[in-house]
Structures are given as C-alpha cells and as structure tokens.
Amino acid sequence: MNDEPYRASVDPNPGLALRSDGISPAMADTLWAQVGGTETFEQIVRDFYRGVREDPLLAPMYPQSDWEGAIWRLRTFLEQYWGGPTTYSEQRGHPRLRMRHQAYPLTPAARDRWLAHMNAALDAAELPPMHDAAFREYIDRAARSLVNRFE
C-alpha cells in the first residue's frame, strides 16, 4: 500500500464539461450565456418585481423593506438554474423551493398572478424563441409545484 498522500493528476487537455468549471471549457454555452448572462436575468427579474410590487395579492407576501433582497435571490437562483454562476447555492445552500415557500399562501390564484408577471417580464426580454419556450415551461412547472393551499 502506498503511504503517499493522494494527488489528483491534472490532465493538460481535460476535454469538455457541461458547465465551465475553470478547468474544462463548457461543451456548449448555457442558456444563461446564450441570452446575455446576468444583464438579461437582472432585466427579467426587475421587470417581474415591478409588476409584483403593484399586485394586491402578491405584494403583501414580500417584506416591503427587502425588495432588493428578493430581486437578488430570484436572479441568482434563475441564473444558477440556467447554467450561470453558482452564487445562489454558495450563499444560501440548496434552493429547497417548497420548504422556503411553505409559509406563504400560494393558491392557484397567487400562482396565476405570479406567472402573469413573469410572463410579462419574459415578453419584455424578447428571448430567442427556443430559449423563451424553455424558460416559460420551467417557470410554469415550478409555479404549479409550489401551490400549497387551495381555495
């Protein structure tokens, strides 16, 4: 048995990875990169929250003194999901979406209002059709999964 400490060998030609990790280049750009990165995600999330702030059903669910925090959390979560920086998990851990949203009365009506604001933000972003469809399919699925109260 070798008593030498384990040393990982570094392959000078590491090949491709699904996400760039600083060592291996990405096999293809992620949706995050293809649509413009942080700038695009910031625009989508800010447009979304502009609508939410005025929504009589949704606005009360947000701490009025933490709109910037809500913007940061949603932007970094979406960026990470779509292949961008992993800042969300590095700072907040696993997303645990159902657990984090359990305290809020997420009814079908709230889901529909949330989706209306997010879809309006996506309309404004004018993503390429394939990316737009993927984004909308994801948010619809996610919003449906978070409903926790029925009227």
Q: Does position 22 have pLDDT exceeding 90, yes or no?
A: no
pLDDT at 92: 84
Q: Does position 55 have pLDDT exceeding 90, yes or no?
A: yes
Is the model more confident about 60 or about 28? 60
pLDDT tens digits along 75-120: 999 999 999 999 999 888 787 877 777 788 899 999 999 999 999 9
pTM of the model: 0.79
- Please provide the average confidence, as pLDDT, over all residues in the chain: 85
In angstroms, the CA 62 to CA 70 distance is 8
Q: Does position 125 have pLDDT exceeding 60, yes or no?
A: yes
pLDDT at 20: 56
Q: Does position 137 have pLDDT exceeding 50, yes or no?
A: yes
User: Domains plus CATH for the chain?
Assistant: 31-146 (1.10.490.10)
pLDDT at 7: 40
pLDDT tens digits along 29-44: 899 999 999 999 999 9
pLDDT at 97: 75
